[in-house]
Amino acid sequence: MPLQILLKDIPNYHEIEVYRQHGGYHIFKKAVSKKPDEIIDEVKKSNLKGRGGACFPTGLKWSFMPKDNSMPKYLCINGDESEPGSFKDRQIFEYNPHQLIEGTLITAYAIGAQTCYIYIRGEYVKWIKLMQKALDDAYAQGFIGQRMKETFDCDFTTEIYIHKGAGAYICGEESALMNSIEGKRGYPRVKPPFPAQCGLWDYPTTINNVETITNVPEIIDKGGEWYANIGEPKHPGTLLFGVSGHINKPGVYELPTGTLLTDIIYKYAGGVPGNKKIKCVIPGGTSMPPIRGDQIEGLKMDAESLKAVGSAIGTGGIIVMDEDTDLVKVLARITKFYYHESCGQCTPCREGTGWMLRVLNRILDGKGTSKDLDLLIDIANNIEGHTICALGEAAAWPVKFTIQRFRDEFEARVGREIILPIANKVHSMRTTLEPLTDIQVG
């Protein structure tokens, strides 16, 4: 049986008594016997990378929090999990909520947060209830809140609240998530300032993914070194791979980083129905660049290996598409999602997502031309890097890379010629009295 850190084959492990029988909440007692900085160092040693998609080193993120304990500090656990193809945090809420809670307590202690929010997407009605039950049980036994002092014989206390999302993908973006908790419109904030300086209600805040935090108790229990040796050294640990699409056994599989993609698909998830060939795999949720079927042989699933083939690990949501998949339709559907979810705050994403969708729909209607494909890539490039948050990239990457990597399929769907109404181009490049810095005069 593969190594289990996050999801364990123990019956009723979600119940607090079962969790306690297996050593639960003792790790926190061990943690408070150390100094907060020692906890952070241990996590740094483990080389744990954020599981929300950006793979930012968790210990380093914690170390950005000011050490000054005179002001309020906050911890937010991001369980907004809204990326299509991503459904891993749900399993933790259902099957291992207390490890998440214990991880939250340890993290709160490490960074000095007196208040923690677990932000769960509103559509997870059942999982919000399950999580709330687990929290209530932990409160009842004195593991959270004021009674922590007696329970763990320590000076530290913290409160944990569940905050329900209201149906916006963008609230999974960490600064929009904070605005959402504050009761504001879910708009991402302009960075800098970063959350560790100015976060929730303008106080220092750390935001971590559910899966990231669920790793923490085991790291503290077994040591950073132990964890750093699991899987790929540069991206250690186990990942929850959510496998979906054209697959015989869709589901969430906990496997060490560096597991072969082909192993995940064929060994664990039962292969492709009808033994069809694979045309395309999206490795980490729909915002990640897709991989061609001819790239998957020997491909390891970890941040570095995926980067090497021009994609990224994202949230580990693997979407498998067989040889009969209509990628134009897939791309239009993905683009519709980001169009629908763009918050509308900043110009490139607000306008660009709708534009890309309309062009793709036109291509689906058989009215596209090959110039439209170049236009789509151009729009995607113009969104990328010009927006307040990463939703710009999330919308641009699928368009850009799906067309680039499956250009032949797209070309087959569009006409060859187009007459675009082009006005006279009347402008020079120069806009002011000052000469262009890029052009050497004389």
Partner 1 sequence: MPIVTINDQKFEFDSGETIIQVAERNGIDIPHYCWHPRLSVSGNCRMCLVEVEKMPKLVIACSTLAMDGMVVHVNSLKAIAGREHVMEFLLINHPLDCPICDEAGECKLQDYAYAHGTGESRFIEQKNQKPKRVKLGPYVMFDAERCIACSLCIRFSAEIAKEDQFTFVQRGDRVTIETFPGKEFDNPYSLNVVDICPVGALTNRDFRFKARVWDMSDTKSICPGCSRGCNIDIWVRNNEILRLTPRFNEAVNDYWMCDHGRINCFKFVNADDRIDSPMIKKAGTHVSSVGWDEAISKTVSTIKRFKSDEIAVIGSPFAIVEDNYLLAKFARQVLHTKNIDFIKHINPADQDDILIREDKTPNSLGAKLAGISPRNGGLNFEQIMEGIKGKKIRCLILIEDDVAAISQDFLDSLSNLDSFIVFATNNNKSTELADIIFPSATYAEKNGTFVNFQGRIQRIRPAVMTIDLDRSLDAMSLSRLDKFGTEFDRWGKARKINARSTWRIILQIANSFSMKFNYETSEDIFLEISQTIKEFDGLDYELIGELGIQLKSYQLVEEPILV
Contact residues: partner 1, CB under 8 A = 168, 170, 185, 190, 192, 339-348, 350-355, 358-359, 362, 375, 382, 385-388, 420-427, 429-432, 434-439
CB of 410: closest distance to partner 1 in angstroms? 18
- DSSP class of residue 124? -
- The smaller minimum CB distance to partner 1, of residues 1 and 426, is found at 426
- The smaller minimum CB distance to partner 1, of residues 291 and 403, is found at 403
- The smaller minimum CB distance to partner 1, of residues 24 and 352, is found at 352
Q: What is the spatial distance between Cα 264 and Cα 266, in angstroms, rounded to a whole number?
A: 6
Tokens of 10: 């123990």
- The smaller minimum CB distance to partner 1, of residues 416 and 427, is found at 427
- The smaller minimum CB distance to partner 1, of residues 302 and 384, is found at 384
- The smaller minimum CB distance to partner 1, of residues 216 and 383, is found at 383
- The smaller minimum CB distance to partner 1, of residues 302 and 372, is found at 372
Helices (H), 207-296: 210-222, 224-228, 261-262
CB of 341: closest distance to partner 1 in angstroms? 7
CB of 201: closest distance to partner 1 in angstroms? 16
- The smaller minimum CB distance to partner 1, of residues 162 and 170, is found at 170
Query: What does residue 159 show for φ and ψ, rounded to 5 degrees?
Result: -110, 145
DSSP string covering 281-344: EESSSTTSPPEEGGG-TT-B-SHHHHHHTT---TT-EEEEEETT--HHHHHHHHHHHHHHH--S
CB of 55: closest distance to partner 1 in angstroms? 18
- C-alpha 356, offset from chain centre: 23
Tokens of 96: 């291992």
CB of 203: closest distance to partner 1 in angstroms? 18
CB of 286: closest distance to partner 1 in angstroms? 17
Tokens of 123: 């559509």
CB of 106: closest distance to partner 1 in angstroms? 35
Query: What does residue 139 show for φ and ψ, rounded to 5 degrees?
Result: -60, -45
Closest CA to 174 of 189, 157, 184, 164: 189
Tokens of 24: 């639960």
Closest CA to 50 of 170, 204, 214, 197: 214
CB of 350: closest distance to partner 1 in angstroms? 5
List of residues 6+ apart from 114 with CB closer than 8 A: 72, 73, 74, 108, 157, 158, 159
Tokens of 224: 């950073």
